[in-house]
């Protein structure tokens, strides 16, 4: 995947990638035996992000765009014992995520809510993790930059250039955040995790 990622422009493939993930999530939710390998696919990425943001059990974490399988929230909670809240703007996805958390007996550690990121209060969170597929894209990140706590951190997942750098559409991040560090997620092609702080 790493070699393929260098040759391909992930932004051009984003629509097909999004469709693939939606399809895979539907299958995993139907056949729960596939959940462990699905979680494992994200394991290295989440482990890298925990190190990147120095996440500890003391942190209160918000994941924007958690989807029907809140894998990031599950793994972060499992690895750090931090309390994690996931939000999504798709009501059906939220119901599926809540049902899954009940089945896994994780509802006391991970909470999922139906919410619009542009209206969600951020003041109590130490860290905000932002999924790649969020919409509206620029507006959500601008909202977070304005309303996050002064000492909070943000991890934003996006696609990079072949050199692992920000692409043109993400350069605006430098105007609204301080870019602390970029970590390539080698198992996930051109995906990078960016650590951001208040400007």
For residue 145, what pLDDT is reported? 98
Tokens 């092609």 correspond to what residue? 189
For residue 4, what pLDDT is reported? 43
Q: What does the buried/exposed string (b/e) look like for 115-146 if buried means 16 or more CB atoms within 10 Å of the residue's CB?
A: bebeebebeebbbbbbbbebeeeeebbbbbbe
Beta strands in the chain (DSSP E): 60-64, 83-88, 110-114, 127-130, 153-159, 177-184, 191-198
For residue 5, what pLDDT is reported? 43
Nearest residue to 192 via CA among 129, 117, 132: 132
For residue 32, what pLDDT is reported? 81
Query: Domain 2-198: which CATH class?
Result: alpha beta
- Residue 159 near residue 10, CB atoms below 8 Å: yes
For residue 25, what pLDDT is reported? 80
**Side-chain half-sphere CA neighbours of 46 within 13 A:** 18
Q: How far apart are CA 110 and CA 134, in angstroms?
A: 20
Mean pLDDT by 10 residues, the chain (199 residues): 45 54 76 87 95 98 96 97 97 96 94 97 98 92 97 95 88 97 84 96
Residue 56 CB partners (closer than 8 Å, separation 6+): 80, 82
Where in the chain are the domains? 2-198
For residue 149, what pLDDT is reported? 97
The pTM (predicted TM-score) of the whole model is 0.88
């Amino acid at each position: 995947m790493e070699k393929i990622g260098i040759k391909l422009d992930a932004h051009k493939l984003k629509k097909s990638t999004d469709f693939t993930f939606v399809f895979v999530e539907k299958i995993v939710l139907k056949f729960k035996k596939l959940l462990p390998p699905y979680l494992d696919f994200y394991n290295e990425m989440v482990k890298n992000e925990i190190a990147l943001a120095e996440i500890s059990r003391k942190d209160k974490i918000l994941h924007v765009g958690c989807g029907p399988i809140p894998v990031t929230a599950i793994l972060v909670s499992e690895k750090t014992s931090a309390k994690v809240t996931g939000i999504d703007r798709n009501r059906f996805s939220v119901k599926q995520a809540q049902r899954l958390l009940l089945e896994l007996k994780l509802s006391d550690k991970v909470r999922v809510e139906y919410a619009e990121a542009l209206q969600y209060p951020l003041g109590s969170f130490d860290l905000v993790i932002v999924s790649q597929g969020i919409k509206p894209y620029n507006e959500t990140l601008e909202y977070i930059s304005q309303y996050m706590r002064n000492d909070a951190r943000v991890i934003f997942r996006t696609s990079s250039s072949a050199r692992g750098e920000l692409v043109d559409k993400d350069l605006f991040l430098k105007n609204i955040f301080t870019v602390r560090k970029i970590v390539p997620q080698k198992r996930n092609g051109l995906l990078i995790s960016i650590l951001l702080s208040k400007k």
